[in-house]
Structure 1
Amino acid sequence: MLGCPVTDHRALIPPWDGGPLICEFDQPALGGDTRCRLAGTGLRRLVRAVAVAEGRYVGCFALGYPQDAAPRLTPAQRSAIGLLAACAASVYARDSGDCRSREQAAGWREATLEEDHSLFIAVTSHELRTPLTVIRGYADTLAEHWEQLDDARRRAAISVVRHRAKDLARLLDRLLSAAGDGGSVGALAAGVPFDLLEAIRYAVDELPVDLRSHLALYLPVELPKAFGDRGTIATIVTELVTNACKYSEGRGEVDLAAGTDCGGVWLTVADRGVGIRPEHTERAFERFWQGERRGLRGRGGVGLGLYLVRRIVERHKGWVSLRPRDGGGTLAEVRLLRADTILGGA
């Protein structure tokens, strides 16, 4: 805490009792010991953010406000502080903690790889079986009852087979991409300037009808060109919209927006669904991690979508993040390089 004369700041932070992850404390309302320790520091109010990784408490950090500057946090500021705490917890858990020796770290990595392999086989067999069962069922119906079906029913059955085949192809692409990913972030291959708006519109046109029907577009008339691989934008949009719709069924539209600023070009996908906990904003990008479904287990999923999005975006030298949305729900943001910052004009 800047400007605070106390050497051991831990003595100023109220201990976490399992309550809210982010709390604001006014000096008069603090416990006697903490209030006494604050006396003479010039601090009027504390904001404590608890850092939790993999379900366990790893620490917390605090913001101290002097007496003449004690504004209340806005919802956006609370979300930003929660995201910072979650990121810090994730880094701490990864770089320290339980794997203090190289032998322990190697054993942990080996066990993780074995677990990932087993989980990969399990989810693959489950997720492939569903569309294959539907395709086979409709194909058998068409083959055995063709003459009894009228033209409308034939077309409806063929449409189901067609859409399920597309789902199957998309699932296979995702599985193969994840299985072939050695874990390193490769350099951007054949990066070129491209029209992000055009790529987004194409991706939206290719979405299944049930996803498009829940989508609201907020796109500007024009944007500076992005730099990277235009073909991967469809995967980014598809996975983010699919994830948003899955966790917000029956809770309003999913908003897809795009824009630009001095830092690059961006696109966001926002929903009004069940939301995401601050401590899960990083874990959501891990392979096979699916979080808390809270009544949505029937929607299925391999847990690879957000993982693949991050891999793609990182290869564009960009970044992607999740954060709770003001008013409920989740907001996913992707930021990419502008071509004019790479090439000096596009």
Structure 2
Amino acid sequence: MGALLEALTEAALIAEGGRITGANKAARALLGKSIEGATLDQVIAHPAALEALNRAGSDDQSVELTGLGKSRRHWLMRVAPLEGSTRLIRFVDRSEARAAEQMRVDFVANASHELRTPLATLIGYTETLREQSDEVDPATRDRFLSVVHDEALRMQRVVEDLISLSRIEAEKFTTPTDAVALEPLIDRALESERRTAQKRGSELVRDVAERLPPVAGDSGQILQLLDNLLSNALRYGEPGTPVTVSARTDGSMVRLSVSDCGDGIAPEHIARVTERFYRVDTSRSRSLGGTGLGLSIVKHIVERHRGRLSIDSIVGKGTTIHVLLPIAVS
């Protein structure tokens, strides 16, 4: 029985009556080194768990637990009867499943909020135009229509980004293998952002090493990655300051970097800025037209390409986002 317990990857106990007669290494790490011989209520100080263990019955039982031992993780306690009053008690770590479920709930809530806000504006302005059309002067009507148009475009950007993110996630297990030349994609991305840069008085600086090797990738997604990084840098960089795109070989990878001179990102936010809809400054991001999905899309593209994403930022000076992509095998 001891060998069987140690073969289990999850924490497991053997209890006879109300006393622990065996425990594996994972159980001792979770509940304490000296638990064999102790009573269940001494070791498992969790009301719901003890209630299930004290409940009479010969069927398998399972209970969701939080705060077991000194751990803040989520557990599923499974109790299976053996011979007589002997029971096998297993603790399955459900923390990742809970976290994934919470992410799904948060995603739905955030997506609903991002669409509800412009919808409310659209409904309000169109109702005014419809119900008070005779009272609205031409200048006010034009201003209302401009707001309606901008909010509709905002909704369109959110929906397009959601569709894009869903498509990238669906393809994440398929590694792209095409040999993709980066220089033409960098030039296309720079050209597409040139008008925005001119409006903000920002110079787009191109710093690409000579004889840059092709990367193994999907050209459409890499272009999307560059577009998102450049538009973010222009959106959050200070007007009149440069945005730099650099590319050079870094071992067996190519390092793409996009730098801005903006407010920067505080260290406590860096780990979360690639989450869907996460914003460091909610009001400022929305006023600048961001959907909150740009860096999440970048992250998923990098993961699909088996690359690496890192962020260097100094508050008050600016941010540099680095993307490492594998060089194509010739």
Q: TM-score band, normalised by the shorter chain?
A: 0.5 to 0.7
Distance 1:141 1:194 in 2: 52
Greater strand proportion: 2
Q: Could you say which structure has the larger radius of gyration? A: 2
Q: CA RMSD in A?
A: 4.3
- 1:227 pairs with 209, 216, 222, which one? 216
**Structure 2 unaligned regions, length at least 5:** 1-69, 78-90
Pairing 1:122–2:96 present: no
Residues 249-296 of structure 1: per-residue CA shift (max 9 Å, x gap): x46435131221242323222222222233433332233332x32872
Distance 1:129 1:243 in 2: 23
- 2:293 pairs with 291, 304, 314, which one? 304
Q: How many residues align?
A: 238
Q: How does 1:122-141 map to 2 (within 5 A)?
A: 122-129=109-116
Distance 1:178 1:133 in 2: 25
Moved more, 113-122 or 178-187: 178-187
| Structure 2 residue aligned with 1:67 | none
Distance 1:276 1:225 in 2: 31
Residues 216 and 253 in structure 1, CA contact (< 8 A), matched pair in contact too: yes
Following superposition, the deviation at residue 332 of structure 1 comes to 0.6
Residues 42-94 of structure 1: per-residue CA shift (max 9 Å, x gap): xxxxxxxxxxxxxxxxxxxxxxxxxxxxxxxxxxxxxxxxxxxxxxxxxxxxx
Pairing 1:186–2:173 present: yes
Residues 239 and 305 in structure 1, CA contact (< 8 A), matched pair in contact too: yes
In structure 2, give the amino acid aligned to 1:99. Answer: R
Cα–Cα, structure 1 residues 142 and 112, in superposed 2: closer, same or farther, change >3 Å? same
Following superposition, the deviation at residue 314 of structure 1 comes to 1.9
TM-score (ref. length: structure 2): 0.55
Distance 1:295 1:142 in 2: 27
Distance 1:131 1:338 in 2: 42
Structure number with higher relative contact order (C-alpha < 8 Å, ≥ 6 residues apart): 1
Following superposition, the deviation at residue 204 of structure 1 comes to 3.4
Pairing 1:174–2:161 present: yes
Residues 312 and 321 in structure 2, CA contact (< 8 A), matched pair in contact too: yes
Following superposition, the deviation at residue 98 of structure 1 comes to 2.9
Q: How does 1:148-167 map to 2 (within 5 A)?
A: 167=154
Cα–Cα, structure 1 residues 100 and 132, in superposed 2: closer, same or farther, change >3 Å? closer
Following superposition, the deviation at residue 139 of structure 1 comes to 8.9
Cα–Cα, structure 1 residues 260 and 288, in superposed 2: closer, same or farther, change >3 Å? same
The percent of aligned pairs where both chains have the same amino acid is 32
Residues 244 and 260 in structure 2, CA contact (< 8 A), matched pair in contact too: no
Following superposition, the deviation at residue 166 of structure 1 comes to 5.8
**Structure 1 unaligned regions, length at least 5:** 1-95
Distance 1:331 1:267 in 2: 10
Cα–Cα, structure 1 residues 270 and 141, in superposed 2: closer, same or farther, change >3 Å? farther
Residues 286-338 of structure 1: per-residue CA shift (max 9 Å, x gap): 33332x32872643655332122111012212211101249722111112223
Cα–Cα, structure 1 residues 108 and 134, in superposed 2: closer, same or farther, change >3 Å? same
Cα–Cα, structure 1 residues 182 and 241, in superposed 2: closer, same or farther, change >3 Å? closer
Pairing 1:337–2:323 present: no
In structure 2, give the amino acid aligned to 1:188. Answer: T
